[in-house]
Amino acid sequence: MAPSRTQPDLSFLLDRTSHVLRTRMTAALAEIGLTARMHCVLVHALEEERTQIQLAELGDMDKTTMVVTVDALEKAGLAERRPSSTDRRARVIAVTERGAEVARTSQEIVDRVHREALEALPEEERKVFLRALEHLVTGHLALPAEGPQPVRRARQRAN
């Protein structure tokens, strides 16, 4: 007989909503030929001059995923690898003019997907919900726990 639960299954609730939100984001961005990772790289590269390693850290990507993502952006004419203006040894990801236009469109899409998700909540609960999540992300759940084996993230289906 299964033990009775004494607390809501927070892991399931957060995992499920995160998964569904990612699928909606993936579908929405696919309409303009982007992935969420491509959007992330474009937006962060537009903020300031950043290396591939810095962008990978911001987007929580490993080296291989980052290389594949930048390769796809270059192939689409949205970004390119260039020497840094401040460090001759470093290379940065520069967004092309067309890439900046696509980034503006993709940000509108991302904002729409997030707005639609929040609009599913009663208006008076939206700010409370966001504030509670921000408290968790900056407080108790700010850093992953160290364990004997790394916890794998949920695998994303390739399109």
Length of the chain: 159
Q: What pLDDT is recorded for position 159?
A: 40
Quote the pLDDT of residue 147: 83
* Model confidence, pTM: 0.86
Phi and psi angles of residue 120, each rounded to the nearest 5 degrees, phi first? -75, -15
Residue 54: Cβ within 10 Å count: 16
Residue ranges for the chain with pLDDT beneath 70: 152-159
Specify whether the CB–CB gap between 93 and 45 falls below 8 A.
Answer: yes
The per-residue pLDDT for range 62-73, each reduced to its tens digit, is 999 999 999 999
User: In this structure, what is the dihedral angle of CA atoms 35, 121, 155, 77, given to the nearest 10 degrees?
Assistant: 10
- 79: which strand partners? 95
DSSP helix/strand/coil, 62: coil
Q: Let me know if domain 19-138 sits in CATH 1.10.10.10.
A: yes
Q: What pLDDT was estimated at residue 152? A: 66
CA angle 94, 72, 151 (to 5 degrees): 100
Measured distance CA(39)–CA(60) in Å, rounded: 13
- Cα angle 9-110-28, degrees, rounded to a multiple of 5: 90
Report the C-alpha gap between 142 and 107 in whole angstroms: 25
DSSP 141: T
pLDDT value, residue 157:
45
pLDDT 10s digits, 47-65: 999 999 999 999 999 999 9
Residue ranges per domain, the chain?
Answer: 19-138
Rounded Cα distance between 68 and 82, Å, is 17
